[in-house]
Amino acid sequence: MAAEPMIFIFTGTSGSGRKTIAKQIGSELGLYHVLSCTTRVPRATEGQDRDYHYISHDEFVELERSGQLLQSTTIGKERYGIRHQELDRALANGKHAYLILNSEGASLFKNLFKDRVIRIFIYVDKQTVRERLERKGTPYDVVDRYLDQYTEEVVYRKQCEHTIENVELIRTLEQIRTAINSHL
Ligand SMILES: Nc1ncnc2c1ncn2[C@@H]1O[C@H](COP(=O)(O)OP(=O)(O)OP(=O)(O)O)[C@@H](O)[C@H]1O
Ligand SMILES: Nc1nc2c(ncn2[C@@H]2O[C@H](COP(=O)(O)O)[C@@H](O)[C@H]2O)c(=O)[nH]1
């Protein structure tokens, strides 16, 4: 059993299935979901304080100005970040935690928390990303952005503790359970 709560980071190529996998595994293993704040609007299936804390640009700037953000990133015109208090609350309750981050956020957490951070890189090929996202009704500009950044994102797998291709969801979940349990 790990002495301190572990931090599992689901990262990888956009649209590869990270959110689906993270939510399923998180609820199954009782992991605490550390939510980011974002200035982007919720998508059709998303909810306030379930997927993100959705806030205005002004509120984001204020969090940044007052030093409340542990880290932040900008993607297109939107801002994303995690409040210190959000992570502190998660770790204080003793549960293992998980986050869903891009490579920039994943590296920052690894540098801060070292061996307590385990990065799980999820990917699928570009064509599958397109098909899945179009089926889900993701706006075309978002799909195009994801595909444009694919090559840049996929190289990060080499730095992660685990790399898993998400073809068959059931098989992927099995591999991730095994990976996580090997650290607990
Ligand atoms: N193994 C799978 N087989 C088929 N469909 C899948 C599989 N895994 C996930 N999906 C579907 O692919 C779509 C994209 O998944 P999801 O939103 O979880 O990806 P994501 O990586 O979190 O995307 P984003 O980059 O937007 O954060 C969803 O509709 C999800 O149901
Ligand atoms: N570095 C950070 N990356 C984050 C954070 N919150 C989310 N993300 C990543 O941003 C992209 C876009 O997400 P989307 O939900 O708008 O599709 C994705 O890779 C997320 O994992 C954060 O606080 N910091």
Here the CATH number for the domain that contains residue 22 is 3.40.50.300
166 and 118 in a single domain? The answer is yes
Cβ neighbours of 151 (radius 10 Å): 10
SS3 32: strand
Tell me the C-alpha distance between 172 and 132, whole Å. 16
Note down pLDDT in tens along the chain; length 184 residues.
Answer: 567 899 999 999 988 999 999 999 999 999 999 999 999 999 888 999 999 999 999 999 999 999 999 999 998 899 999 999 999 998 898 899 999 999 999 999 999 999 999 999 999 999 999 999 898 888 888 899 889 999 999 999 999 999 999 999 999 999 999 999 999 9
Q: What is the pTM of this model?
A: 0.95
Query: Has the ipTM of the complex gone over 0.90?
Result: yes
54 and 145 in a single domain? The answer is no
Q: Where among 94, 117, 135 does a domain terminate?
A: 94
Q: Which of 10, 14, 19 to mutate to test the pocket of ligand 1 (most atoms within 8 A of CB)?
A: 19
Contact 145 CB / ligand 1 (< 6 Å): no
Tell whether the torsion through CA atoms of 101, 17, 38 and 92 is positive or negative: negative
Would 2 be classed as within a structural domain? no
Q: Which of 38, 46, 63, 101 to mutate to test the pocket of ligand 2 (most atoms within 8 A of CB)?
A: 101
Strand-pair category, 32-33 with 97-100: parallel
Q: Based on the structure, what is the number of domains in the chain?
A: 2
Please enumerate in sequence order all residues whose Cβ is within 8 A of that of 138, keeping only pairs 6 or more positions apart, or say none: 15, 43
46 and 64 in a single domain? The answer is yes
Pick from 143, 151, 96, 142: which is nearest to 120 by CA?
96
Contact 166 CB / ligand 1 (< 6 Å): yes
Contact 175 CB / ligand 2 (< 6 Å): no
Pick from 55, 105, 46: which is nearest to 78 by CA?
55
Note down the domain range covering 154.
Answer: 7-31+96-178
53 and 87 in a single domain? The answer is yes
